Amino acid sequence: MAEATNPPPWRPAAVLGLFVALFAVVALPLLWVNLPPLVDYPNHLARMHILARWDQSAWLQRYYEINWRPLPNLAMDLIVPPLAWIMPLAAGGKVFLLAIFLLIAGGPMVLHRVLFGRWSVWPCLVFLLLYNRVFLWGFLNYLFGLGLAFWALAAWIWLRDRPGLRLPISAIFSLALYSSHFLAFGLWAVMAAGFELGARIQERRLLSLRGAGELLLQSLPFLPPLLIFGLMSDGGSGAEISFGNPLRKFDLPFSLFDNYSRPFDVACFAGMVLLFIWIAWRGGLRIDRRMRWPLIFLLLTYLAMPSRLMTATGADHRIPLALALLFLGSTEPLLRDRGRKAFAWVVGCVFVARMAVIYGVWIGDDRGYAPLLAALDKIPEGACLAVAFPPSSIHADRMPVLHFPTLAIARRDAFVPTLFAYPTQQPVAIKAGVRRVAEKTSPSILWSVFVTESGGKADAALERFDYLVFVNRAPFQVMPSPLLEPVFQGEGMQLFRIVK
C-alpha cells in the first residue's frame, strides 16, 4: 500500500536557511585550499592570467595572442579576467567555481518553485551531486552553462503566458548559454522543446494551426546562436564525432557519485538508487505531467549522444548530471511523516560522509601541491617550459598534476606548450613562431625518450626550451641525461633545467 500524501509546506525562510547552510558546507573545501584539485583547472587559470595581464607583460605578448570571437565556450573567459583586475587571480577563479555551485544548486530549486508553486527542500538533494566526476575533470564552462540552463528553463515556463517578456528574456538566456557552452545551450533547447510538447499534449492543442504558429514564434530565441555558430565561430572546424561502447550508457550515471574511493562511492550510489526505487514503489514521487516529455527528450539525447562531439570530449558523460537536475526540479516527494524522516536521515548521513571524504582529500592535496608550486617559482620569468607525461596520466584522481605545469604561465609569465589554445574553443592562441616549436615537443614523446627509453632523440626539439618538467601521479624515474640538470624532484613532478 502506498504511503503517498501531500508534502507539508515549508516556509520560504526555512528553505533559504537550509540552502545557505548546505551551500556553506560544499563551499568550504573551495575556500580552504589554495588550488582546487580539478584536472583542467590549472590550465584554465593560466588562460585567465593571459587574458587579464597580456597587455602588461612583454613575455606574454611574445608567446601568446588574443583573438576574441563568438566562440561557444567562453563563460570563464568572460567572467574571471575582469575579476582578476580587482582581486587575486586565485580568488577570481574560486568566485567562478562558487558561481557554478550556486547556479547548479539554485536552478532546480527555482524550476521546482515555478512548477509546483511553493518552495521545497526536495531540490536540495542537488548538493549531494555537486562534487561529481565532470566537476573533478574541470569542465567548468559546461557546468556554468548547465546551471544557467535550468534558470533559463524556469524563466521559459514562468513566462509562458507573457510572450511579450518571454521572447526577449529567452533570447538573452539563449545568447548567454551559447557563450557559456554550446552543449549547455543545446540541452536547454531540448528541455524547452520537451516542455512545450508536454504542455500542448496536456492542453490538447498540439495539432492546431494556431499552435503551430505559436511554436514557430517561440523558436525565434534559439535562432541567433545557431546562426552565429554556423556563420561566425568556425564551429565545424576540427569536427569529429565518435561513439564509445554503448553499454557505458548504463555505467555513466555512476559518475554523479564517482569521487575518490571506489568502494565508498559505489555504496553511496547503490544506496541512493535503492532508496529512490523504494520511494517510487511506495508511490512516494509525483512528477509534473508537463515535465515528462523534457525528461524523455533529455534521456533520448543522452542515449544518442556520441562520446566525442566536434571538440567536446566526453559529451555523453556530461548529460547524467543534467538528467538528475531535471528529475529533482520536476518531482516532489509524497511520503508520510515517518518515511520523510527516514529519508532525511539517510540522505543526511550520505551527504556528511561524502563531504568528509572530500574535505580530507582536498586538504591533503593542497599540502602536496605546496612544494610543487614552490618549484615552479624557481623558473625565471618568461622561461620556456617543455612538459612530459605519459598517456596513462590523463585521468581524474587524487592530486591531479596533468596540467599543473601550466601554472608557470600564471606565476612566471612562462611559455608552456600544453596550454589550452584551440581556435574553436579559446580566445587565446600560441603565436605562430613558438607554435611550430611546441608542435615538436609532444609530452608523450618526451616521456618515452627520458623515462621509458623507448627510442628517439630530443636534442633538436628542446633547443628552444629552458626547462623540462615531468608529471605523473604514479612513481617514475627520469633517466640520466647530459641535457638535464635537476632542479626539483617531488611527488608527482620533477623539474630539470635544459643544458644548452
CB of 166 closer than 8 Å to CB of 196: no
How does pLDDT run across 339-359, given as a tens digit for each residue? 788 888 999 999 999 999 999
For the chain, give the percent of residues with pLDDT over 70: 93
Residue 312 has pLDDT above 80, yes or no: no
Grid coordinates representing 474? 604514479
Residue 455 has pLDDT above 60, yes or no: no
> Concatenated DSSP letters for 275-288?
HHHHHHHTT-EEE-
Helix (H, G, I), strand (E, B) or coil at 89: helix
Burial label, 302 (beta-carbon count in 10 A; 0-12, 13-18, 19+) = buried
Residue 160 has pLDDT above 60, yes or no: yes
In this prediction, residues 199-208 reach a mean pLDDT of 71
How does pLDDT run across 212-246, given as a tens digit for each residue? 667 777 888 899 998 888 876 554 444 577 787 88
Burial 264-282 (b: 16+ CB within 10 A, else e): ebeebbeebeeebeebeeb
Q: Quick one: pLDDT at residue 306?
A: 87
CB of 331 closer than 8 Å to CB of 235: no
- Please give the mean pLDDT across all residues of the chain: 90
Q: Round to whole Å and give the CA distance between 153 and 158.
A: 9
Identify any residues that bridge with 497 across adjacent strands, giving them in sequence order: 467, 485
DSSP structural state of residue 8:
P
24 CB neighbour count, 10 Å cutoff? 10
Highest mean pLDDT: which range of 157-161, 395-399, 405-409: 405-409
The residues near 444 (Cβ < 8 Å, ≥ 6 apart) are: 388, 389, 390, 391
The residues near 101 (Cβ < 8 Å, ≥ 6 apart) are: 23, 26, 27, 30, 130
Q: Quick one: pLDDT at residue 2?
A: 43
Q: Round to whole Å and give the CA distance between 325 and 147.
A: 9
CB of 152 closer than 8 Å to CB of 177: yes
Q: Which of 120-129, 151-160, 283-292 has the lowest mean pLDDT?
A: 283-292
Grid coordinates representing 340? 520523510
How does pLDDT run across 468-489, given as a tens digit for each residue? 999 999 999 999 888 999 999 9
How does pLDDT run across 30-70, given as a tens digit for each residue? 999 999 999 999 999 999 999 999 999 999 999 999 999 99
From the list 432, 430, 431, the residue with the least C-alpha distance to 418 is 430
The residues near 296 (Cβ < 8 Å, ≥ 6 apart) are: 194
Identify any residues that bridge with 359 across adjacent strands, giving them in sequence order: none
